[in-house]
Structure 1
Amino acid sequence: MTSRIFFSAILFVLACGGLAQADRTHVAVAANFTDAANEIARAFAAETGHQAVLSFGATGQLFAQITQGAPFEVFLSADNVRPAMAVAEGYGVEGGVFTYAIGQLVLYSPDAAVVTGPEVLKEGNFQQIALANPEAAPYGKAAVETMQSLGVYEALQPKMVQGQNIAQTFQFIETGNAELGFVALGQVARRDGGSRWVVPQELFTPIRQDAVLLKQGEDNPAATAFIEFLKGDTAAEIIEKYGYATAR
């Protein structure tokens, strides 16, 4: 009798653990979307009771981690390439890719007198300009395309400093390691002061940020609920508040 009670208690604990896990989902999030994602996660928890555990990084790095078995269940990319690759390579759920945000690139400086428009790039009167690694971060790729479109890329190469991701790039600018740099509008949309130039969309390939439900989250109600929440009006309002466009 005692052993049966003990065995039943173990099963109960395991079952409770499974239920608790079902209320939590692990989400890989592109670094440029940090502020918006944190607010979305709070709204998601308030509305559904589920918890989204967020991990931030460069899109390329996050995708590499997914292919190496990282326990992510949802992937919020900064491009529309990696989520499609995730599905093609068997990590993402078929039919589960959608655009959650359309990113906007901005040239930004904490100094109110530095960024006056594209002419600051052509004049080159600064020591260093920051951008994210274009191999791993779509915003870095967009920055390179912008400079190439303006015909200043080669001239500015000696002055470029690269962050591993867009978050580190922003830190370079904020700490004065670079006088100005290319970041996501979402990172500065709610900041006062400084100077900025929102880069026209025709100067770079549109940054369509796609999300995908990963195979590891297919049977987790919290993961599927997060995907649905991300498609809804509450999330869209937050996304737009942080300087992104949406497809709605």
Structure 2
Amino acid sequence: MKKCFRLPSLIFGFLLLSVSAFVSAETVHVAVAANFVEPLKNISAQFEKTTGNKVMVTSGATGKLYAQIKNGAPYDILLAADAKTPAKLESEDAIVPGSRFTYAIGKLALWSAKPGYVDNKGEILKKQPFNHIAIASPKLAPYGLAAQQTLEKMGLWQTMQAKIVQGENIGQTYQFVASGNAELGFVALSQIYKNGKVKSGSAWIIDARDYQPIKQDAVLLTHGKNNAAAVALMKYLKSGESYKVLKSYGYGH
């Protein structure tokens, strides 16, 4: 009789554990800067597998995400493309105190989908044999501001105006170049880089001294203060596993 009841009891125990895990699993809604979408997909997959929680992602320009947050968008976490916006939210008491930290240091690259088109010193910018060059909006996107600073340092910002095509965010800017609507453009290195090399086309990885450091900060927003999954994801972003992903996409930390 004991043997008869042991197996069902064991199965019942596993069912209880499964139900408990399902009930305790939560969803975290992350607002993420466009440059970090691909790395976040990788990190989220690992996080979901490890914890059973789910990650929902909304991407866009950091400035636009800020406006959405101020208008009541129900995001739990903001992964910004700068440090200024999270600091502003902190000053406005819109985040959980003490939650802000730099999760990545972004890098800028000049990229073309055409192999051999962009040289590794950026000399093509001086020769200007192109009709269109894409950058993200300097007012909305930190990578756009970094592109402007790079061109200003080279003395080319004013002379380049007629050829500039602006994207609302770095994701749209990348699409301008990838589609051929612009022969080249300033993009986030993470968009074109994986496992230590440029994935396709040709690129100049710009010296970080040519623009202000792109410190990308994360904050736990007030909306997510009681969300265990959001708290867990913030912690996971500081883990060794996350840092491996960052490095593979060309980020510093």
Q: Does 1:121 align with 2:125?
A: yes
Q: Does 1:46 align with 2:49?
A: yes
- Please give the secondary structure, in 2, of the residue aligned with 1:107: strand
Q: Which residue of 2 aligns with 1:159?
A: 163
Give, as a single letter, the amino acid of the residue that structure 1 aligns with 2:157: Y
1:81-96 to 2 correspondence within 5 Å?
Answer: 81-96=84-99
- Please give the secondary structure, in 2, of the residue aligned with 1:95: coil
Q: Which residue of 2 aligns with 1:131?
A: 135
Deviations 1:29-50 (A, max 9, x none): 0000111011111010011111
Identity rate of aligned residues, in percent? 44
Contact 2:25 2:54 in 1 (8 A): no
Give, as a single letter, the amino acid of the residue that structure 2 aligns with 1:122: K
Q: Distance in 1 between matches of 2:105 and 2:72?
A: 28
Deviations 1:133-173 (A, max 9, x none): 11110000000000001111111111000011100000000
Deviations 1:85-124 (A, max 9, x none): 1111121111111000000000000112221122111111
Contact 1:22 1:220 in 2 (8 A): no
Contact 1:131 1:181 in 2 (8 A): yes
Q: Which residue of 1 aligns with 2:6?
A: none
In the superposition, relative to structure 1, how do residues 100 and 80 fare at CA in structure 2: closer, same or farther (>3 Å)?
same
Give, as a single letter, the amino acid of the residue that structure 2 aligns with 1:164: E
Give, as a single letter, the amino acid of the residue that structure 2 aligns with 1:28: A
Q: How many residues align?
A: 229
- Please give the secondary structure, in 1, of the residue aligned with 2:99: strand
Q: Which runs of 5+ in 1 are unaligned?
A: 1-15
Backbone CA RMSD of aligned residues: 1.4
Q: Distance in 2 between matches of 1:84 and 1:21?
A: 32
Deviations 1:147-205 (A, max 9, x none): 00111111111100001110000000011100000000000002533110001011100
Q: Distance in 2 between matches of 1:218 and 1:193?
A: 41
Q: Does 1:34 align with 2:37?
A: yes
Q: Which residue of 2 aligns with 1:213?
A: 220
Structure 1 residue 20, shift from structure 2 partner: 5.5
Q: Does 1:237 align with 2:241?
A: no
Q: Does 1:197 align with 2:200?
A: no
Give, as a single letter, the amino acid of the residue that structure 2 aligns with 1:220: N
Instruction: Normalising by structure 1, report the TM-score.
Output: 0.90
Which deviates more from structure 2 when the two are superposed, residues 114-123 or residues 153-162? Answer: 114-123
Contact 1:104 1:199 in 2 (8 A): yes
Q: Distance in 2 between matches of 1:84 and 1:193?
A: 36
Q: Which residue of 1 aligns with 2:174?
A: 170
Q: Distance in 2 between matches of 1:20 and 1:68?
A: 31
Q: Which residue of 2 aligns with 1:102?
A: 105
Instruction: Normalising by structure 2, report the TM-score.
Output: 0.88
Contact 2:192 2:200 in 1 (8 A): no
Q: Distance in 2 between matches of 1:178 and 1:163?
A: 11
Q: Distance in 1 between matches of 2:184 and 2:80?
A: 25
Rg: which structure is higher? 2
- Please give the secondary structure, in 1, of the residue aligned with 2:158: helix
In the superposition, relative to structure 1, how do residues 244 and 167 fare at CA in structure 2: closer, same or farther (>3 Å)?
same
List 4+ stretches of structure 1 deviating above 4 A. 19-22
Give, as a single letter, the amino acid of the residue that structure 2 aligns with 1:185: L
